[in-house]
Chains A and B, each alone.
Chain A
Amino acid sequence: MSGEKVVSIDGLTFSYDGLKVLEDVNLQISKNDFVWIVGPNGGGKTTLVKLILGLLQPRRGTVRVFGLEPAEARSRIGYMPQFAHLDPQFPINVLDVVLMGRLGNGNGLGPFRKKDKAVAERVLDEVGLLDMSRRSFSSLSGGQQRRILIARALAGEPDLLILDEPTANLDLLVEKELYDLLRELNSRLTIVMVSHDPAFVSDNVERVVCVKRKVSEHPTCELEGNFIGELFGGEMRLVRHDKHIGKRKNGE
Chain B
Amino acid sequence: MSEFIDALMNHAFLQYAMLTGVLASIACGIVGTYVVTRRITYIGGGIAHSILGGMGVAYFLSATYKWNNLHPLYGALVAAILAAVVIGLISLRTREREDTVISSLWAVGMAVGILFISRTPGYNQDLMSYLFGNILMVTSSDLWLIIGLDILVAIIGVLFYNQLTAVCFDEEFARVRGLNVSFYYLLLLCLTALTVVILVTVVGVVMVIALLTLPVAVAGHFTRTMWGTMILATILSMIFVVIGLAVSYGPNLPAGATIILIAGLVYLIVAVGAGIFRYGREF
Contact = CB atoms under 8 A, between A and B. Distances in A.
Interface of A: 53, 55, 74-75, 77, 79, 81, 85-87, 89-93, 96-97, 99-101, 103-104, 107, 109-112, 135-139, 152, 156
Contact of B170 (A53, A86, A104): A86
B39 interface: yes
Interface in B129-188: 159-163, 165-166, 168-170, 172-179
A92 B224 contact: yes
Interface of B: 33, 37, 39, 159-163, 165-166, 168-170, 172-179, 220, 223-226, 228-229
Contacts of A77: 176
Enumerate the 9 nearest inter-chain pairs by beta-carbon distance, A residue then B residue, closest first: A136-B224, A104-B178, A104-B177, A79-B176, A103-B177, A81-B172, A100-B166, A109-B159, A91-B229
A144 to B, nearest CB: 15
Given A92-B226, A103-B179, A138-B224, 17 more contacts: A53-B176, A55-B172, A55-B176, A74-B177, A79-B172, A81-B170, A86-B169, A86-B170, A87-B169, A91-B33, A91-B229, A92-B169, A93-B224, A103-B163, A109-B159, A109-B163, A136-B224
A2 B54 CA distance: 64
Q: Which of A75, A81, A103, A136 has the most CB of B within 10 A?
A: A103
Secondary structure dominating the interface of B: helix
B176 A100 contact: no
A79 B178 CA distance: 12
B173 A100 contact: yes
A111 B162 contact: yes
B156 to A, nearest CB: 10
Contacts of B179: 103-104
Contact of B169 (A79, A90, A104): A90
Nearest to A70: B176
Nearest to A164: B172
A41 to B, nearest CB: 19
Contacts of A104: 177-179
A126 to B, nearest CB: 19
